[in-house]
Amino acid sequence: MKKREGVGITITEHILSEQRENPHATGAFTTLLNELIVAAKVISREVNKAGLVDILGPTGKVNVQDERVQKLDIFANQVMIERMQHVGQLCCMASEEDPDLIQIPSKFPRGDYIIFFDPLDGSSNIDVNISIGTIFGIYRRPEGRSTEEVLLDEVLQPGSRQVAAGYFIYGSSTIMVYTTGKGSGVHGFTLFPSIGEFLRSHPYIKIPPRGKIYSINEGYYAYWDDKTRALVGHFKGLDKEGGKAYTARYVGSLVADFHRNLLKGGIFMYPADLKDPKKPHGKLRLMVEANPLAMVVSEAGGYASDGHGPILDVDPQQLHQRTPLFIGSKEDVELAEDYISGRRK
Ligand code: FDP
């Protein structure tokens, strides 16, 4: 970590200090982030009650007992949409849960920002108390486009154009990690429930250049091509160099796996499943999962690749485009790229 000063300051103070450093700032972005934080606090409260639903009954208005897990996904999605649509800083949104762009209703004021989010990533883990999270990436609408309806080609921008990105992890505590890029650093804030505030707990997060952890779902070994098998063999110390084996950690909740590797160093991989026609590009989504985490890891000194080049340079073609993802410590991800692109065998 570069500095420890500022530990304990509230997230509001942090955002305002970043705003003061930008002479052109209007406060619009600050308003947007503040509303996002409120949405995450509401989701966090509901996630923390998840185990009580069977005891106390479903908490929602509609009684759909059997769909409780799915309901929390939908609840999180609704909270995000309802809280964010009226702030006046967004021109549209896109969610992992919605097939199309979410336009801002005409009764609300509109701004120039676009937000992508996965409202509850890793939601198959809710029932077993494994950490889950909300991921977000924020862009600006390209200049010169001002029709009421925002078009898909305006929204589909490479991840390198994100102006901010991050995630909330709902775990043993609720933590927000985010960056506004350009050397501002990656900062983590822990929710102090009794005062309802996020306090800075992880200033200037830096990921070690090389880690000791590899994270991948090895149950899909049969679906991988030889390059992926050779790469994972390397992390197990099985290749001809006979290097020391890494340790394996895979929770199956992207935010949780990513957060651990960000703090400790290592690589998370979700490769293309070449023999599975349902997942030729893997499972993870470029716009709501890969790009935001790629911005965070890059700002923290790490790297994210699709196996051939930077995730942040991918020119998106579809809203829900999937991508292979190799993300984490820079040297580990570069090594993965060498294997996947065939430069190393
Ligand atoms: P989930 O389906 O539980 O929402 O993209 C979603 C995700 O979880 C990621 O959070 C996680 O890393 C991945 O899927 C797990 O997929 P596998 O079960 O195929 O490993």
Residue among 118, 120, 121 whose CB has most ligand 1 atoms within 8 A, to mutate: 121
Cβ of residue 127 lying under 6 Å from some atom of ligand 1: no
Query: How many A from CA of 75 to the centre of ligand 1?
Result: 19
**Cα–Cα distance for residue pair 259/82, rounded to 1 Å:** 27
* Parallel, antiparallel or unpaired: strands 174-179 and 164-170: antiparallel
The finding on whether 285 has its CB within 6 A of some atom of ligand 1 is no
Residue ID of nearest Cα to ligand 1 atom 8: 122
Distance CA 329, CA 158 (A): 22
Query: What pLDDT tens digit does each residue of the chain (345 aa) get?
Result: 444 567 789 999 998 888 888 777 788 889 999 999 999 999 999 888 876 665 544 444 443 333 344 478 888 999 999 999 999 999 999 999 999 999 999 899 999 999 999 999 998 888 788 999 999 999 999 887 666 788 898 899 999 999 999 999 999 999 999 999 999 999 999 999 999 999 999 999 999 999 999 999 999 999 999 999 999 999 999 877 767 899 999 999 999 999 999 999 999 999 998 777 777 889 999 999 999 999 999 999 999 999 999 999 999 999 999 999 999 999 999 999 999 999 888
Q: Which of 216, 251, 283 maximizes ligand 1 atoms within 8 Å of its Cβ, making it the mutation to test the pocket? A: 283
Atom of ligand 1 nearest to the CA of 285: 5
Give the ligand 1 atom nearest the CA of 251: 12
Q: Whose CA is nearest to atom 6 of ligand 1?
A: 122
